[in-house]
Amino acid sequence: MKTPIEFSEKQIAIINAAEKLFAEKGFDGSSVRDIAQEAEVNVAMISYYFGSKEKLMEAVFEKRTGDIRIKVENLLLDSSISHLQKVNILIDDYVDKFIHQQEFHKIMMREQMINKHNSVAELIHELKKRNLEAIRTLLSEGQKSGEFKKNIDVVLMMTTMVGTVSQMISSQYFYRKVNNLEHMDEMEFQKHMKKKLSAHLKNLFKQLITNE
């Protein structure tokens, strides 16, 4: 099992600055000098810590995704809850990450659409593969116990979850308007959106995967 990397405070400041600019301008549109200025450090410090812009992008991915495998492995070891409850915990975790890491997911969406940089494309491919394997393992355990159906298309499940949350995030201001939620402040609305998304996906997945 790969242990998540622990970054220093200065490294985190640089990673956060890079994430912000990669989300706003894309990988090509963000220079190392821009990132250094945003992080209020000198260019040499970025080279010292990360070596290159590609390695800095890798660090952004590591910071945002390093705990996924550990979370799933801990869930698999927990015999006190059902397999459906474990799936529900992962749904909550995914929705929470998506809502609170919107800049990172902008990077994901942007880079997948242009499909240009081999190094970044490989990072995205590995992240999606890791998520898929985690869900597949969890579902497999539920299938062995008879809790879940035998024929589950895991890729379509993940596509449904990613697509649903992505669409909600990208159209959140429309959603707020048509549901008369404009009186809510940003934090209150984010909590509301998380609750609605989680409940919707849990209900949907229960219908899709369980034998109930």
Amino acid at site 85 = Q
Please name the residues in contact with 124: beta carbons below 8 A apart, sequence gap of 6 or more. 108, 111, 112
Whether 159 and 75 map to the same domain: the answer is yes
pLDDT at position 2 over 60? no
- Predicted confidence (pLDDT) per residue in 130-188, tens digit: 778 878 888 999 999 999 999 999 989 988 988 898 889 889 999 999 999 999 999 99
- What's residue 50's pLDDT? 93
Whether 29 and 75 map to the same domain: the answer is no
Q: Which residues are paired to 210 by β-bridges?
A: 148
Whether 123 and 179 map to the same domain: the answer is yes
Whether 205 and 101 map to the same domain: the answer is yes
End residue of a domain, out of 64, 83, 112: 64
Whether 134 and 87 map to the same domain: the answer is yes
At 154, which CATH number? 1.10.357
pLDDT at position 8 over 90? no
Asked if residue 129 lies in contact with residue 69, where contact means CB atoms within 8 angstroms, the answer is no
Whether 60 and 74 map to the same domain: the answer is no
Whether 107 and 170 map to the same domain: the answer is yes
| Full residue range of the structural domain in which residue 123 is found | 67-209
Whether 196 and 177 map to the same domain: the answer is yes
End residue of a domain, out of 44, 64, 84: 64
Whether 115 and 184 map to the same domain: the answer is yes
Residue of 7 and 181 predicted with greater confidence: 181
User: How many distinct structural domains can be found in the chain?
Assistant: 2
Whether 76 and 173 map to the same domain: the answer is yes
- Predicted confidence (pLDDT) per residue in 46-58, tens digit: 999 999 898 898 8
| 208 CB-contact burial (10 Å; exposed 0-12 / middle 13-18 / buried 19+) | middle
End residue of a domain, out of 64, 84, 109: 64
Rounded to whole angstroms, the Cα distance separating 156 from 150 reads 15
Whether 54 and 148 map to the same domain: the answer is no
Whether 100 and 38 map to the same domain: the answer is no
- Predicted confidence (pLDDT) per residue in 14-45, tens digit: 999 999 999 889 888 899 999 999 999 999 99
Q: Which residues are paired to 148 by β-bridges?
A: 210
- What's residue 66's pLDDT? 62
- The secondary structure of the chain as a DSSP string is -PPPPPPPHHHHHHHHHHHHHHHHHHHHH--HHHHHHHHTS-HHHHHHHHSSHHHHHHHHHHHHHTTHHHHHHHHHH-TTS-HHHHHHHHHHHHHHHHHHTHHHHHHHHHHHHH---HHHHHHHHHHHHHHHHHHHHHHHHHHHTTSB-S---HHHHHHHHHHHHHHHHHTHHHHHHHTT-TTS-HHHHHHHHHHHHHHHHHHHHHHHHB--
At 37, which CATH number? 1.10.10.60
Asked if residue 19 lies in contact with residue 104, where contact means CB atoms within 8 angstroms, the answer is yes
